[in-house]
């Protein structure tokens, strides 16, 4: 960390900064420049609260030289984290893992039909919400535990793994009993009670980026999970809040190579939420794989026109099958392969 002094800061003001640094147990290194003096803080391990210094007399600004996160960083761990799931599925290695299914679990018939359709087209994980965060209190809020039971039934019938969301720290243990991957939604990316509980749940986590979260904030949210002892974290880009109402969100695919540069954690992309428009899902799913995504999260509904939520961005089964064909081609060009579903015996 570097504390930059104002032009004309007095020697006393500089000594004040030095004293404040030393009082916190760090070393201070004043660095006089032509126009300004800067004071370096040596021994910064990401725990220093910069705002302490911003308030001191004569201080112009604080410059962070190192990132505030630790265990999630590429510097902490050079090789990729590979999240290993039952049945040999691995996220973060050479395979591109496709997770697909409806927005919400609506009924046994619907989730079984969806599971079969996505399995037949090549998905290896079934997605589907039992607890649904909805902007309006009057919208359909999900089937709750009954939805989890139906997901487990679909897993039994198809061999697919299950990813589903926990919305509250109180729900985590319940969701962990049914799910193979516990999803933390975008609205909850900074719900720290939830993150800590997920860090102790003993299951891999899928952490979605908030709609206005920087990459640093996404990595710090993941750090909450790792700090509780759970290194099995998959990140997910699902679109940012933008200014153009032509799409539901602004899908930030550059997040994929950027996360790969800064962190060892895998990252998948959700073009269904990322664009909000069915016509955009296939091209942007292809783009995500080309950008290096470790997997996809795709909304597929057996009958999109009758979906209780997110119908407009759900693919029909035949559209999803077409997407899978193109996905395999793109993955091959960049030296990867789309993970295949296990045989159900």
Residue 7-36 contact track with a second copy, rule CB under 8 A, x = bound: x------------x--------x-x-xxxx
Q: Which two tokens stand for residue 329?
A: 């081609």
Q: How far is the CB of 62 from a second copy (least distance, A)?
A: 8
Q: Which two tokens stand for residue 308?
A: 């209780």
Q: Contact with a second copy (CB under 8 A): which of 83, 96, 253, 338? A: 253
CA torsion angle 196 202 204 210 (round to 10): -10
3-state secondary structure of 38: strand
**Whole-angstrom Cα distance, residue 183 to residue 165?**
4
Q: How far is the CB of 324 from a second copy (least distance, A)?
A: 13
Q: Which two tokens stand for residue 239?
A: 């679109």
Q: Contact with a second copy (CB under 8 A): which of 11, 22, 42, 87? A: 42
State the number of binding residues for a second copy (CB under 8 A).
111
Sign of the CA dihedral 33, 38, 44, 50? Answer: negative
Q: Is 326 in the site for a second copy (CB under 8 A)?
A: yes
Q: Is 227 in the site for a second copy (CB under 8 A)?
A: yes
Q: Is 78 in the site for a second copy (CB under 8 A)?
A: no
**Whole-angstrom Cα distance, residue 190 to residue 171?**
17
Angle in degrees, CA 253, 258, 263, rounded to 5: 130
Decide whether 71 or 157 has the Cβ nearer to a second copy.
71
Decide whether 84 or 141 has the Cβ nearer to a second copy.
141
Q: Contact with a second copy (CB under 8 A): which of 22, 200, 257, 340? A: 257
DSSP E strands, the chain = 2-5, 27-32, 37-42, 59-63, 83-84, 90-91, 95-101, 125-127, 161-165, 181-184, 205-208, 233-237, 267-269, 295-299, 337-338
Residues 230 to 249: which contact a second copy by CB under 8 A? 240-247
Residues 84 to 143: which contact a second copy by CB under 8 A? 133-140
Q: Contact with a second copy (CB under 8 A): which of 86, 88, 202, 214? A: 214
Q: How far is the CB of 46 from a second copy (least distance, A)?
A: 6
Residues 48 to 67: which contact a second copy by CB under 8 A? 49-56, 63, 65-66
Quick one: which of 236, 211, 225, 303 has its CA closest to 91?
Answer: 236
Residues 273 to 312: which contact a second copy by CB under 8 A? 274-275, 277-280, 283-284, 286-292, 304-312
């Amino acid at each position: 960390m570097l504390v930059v002094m104002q032009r004309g800061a007095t020697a006393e003001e500089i000594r004040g900064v030095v004293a404040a640094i030393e009082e916190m147990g760090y070393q201070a290194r004043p660095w006089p420049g032509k126009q300004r003096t800067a004071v370096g803080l040596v021994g910064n391990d990401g725990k220093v609260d910069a705002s302490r210094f911003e308030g001191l007399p004569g201080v112009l600004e604080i410059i962070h030289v190192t990132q505030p996160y630790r265990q999630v960083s590429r510097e902490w761990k050079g090789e990729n984290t590979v999240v290993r799931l039952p049945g040999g599925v691995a996220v973060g290695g050479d395979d591109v893992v496709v997770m697909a299914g409806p927005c919400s679990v609506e009924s046994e018939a619907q989730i079984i039909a969806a599971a079969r359709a996505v399995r037949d087209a090549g998905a290896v994980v079934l997605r589907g919400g039992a607890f649904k965060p909805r902007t309006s209190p009057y919208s359909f809020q999900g089937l709750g535990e009954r939805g989890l039971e139906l997901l487990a039934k679909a897993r039994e019938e198809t061999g697919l793994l299950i990813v589903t969301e926990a919305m509250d720290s109180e729900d985590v243990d319940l969701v962990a009993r049914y799910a193979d991957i516990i999803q933390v939604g975008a609205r909850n990316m900074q719900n720290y009670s939830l993150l800590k509980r997920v860090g102790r749940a003993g299951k891999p986590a899928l952490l979605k980026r908030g709609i206005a979260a920087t990459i640093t904030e996404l990595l710090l949210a993941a750090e909450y999970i790792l700090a509780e002892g759970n290194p099995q974290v998959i990140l997910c880009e699902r679109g940012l809040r933008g200014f153009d109402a032509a799409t539901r969100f602004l899908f930030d695919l550059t997040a994929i190579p950027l996360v790969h540069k800064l962190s060892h954690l895998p990252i998948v992309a959700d073009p269904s939420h990322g664009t909000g428009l069915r016509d955009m899902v296939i091209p942007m799913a292809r783009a995500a794989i080309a950008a290096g995504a470790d997997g996809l999260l795709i909304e597929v509904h057996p009958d999109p026109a009758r979906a209780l939520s997110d119908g407009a961005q759900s693919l029909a089964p035949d559209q999803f099958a077409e997407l899978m064909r193109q996905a395999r081609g793109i993955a091959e060009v960049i030296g990867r392969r789309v993970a295949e579903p296990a045989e159900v015996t």
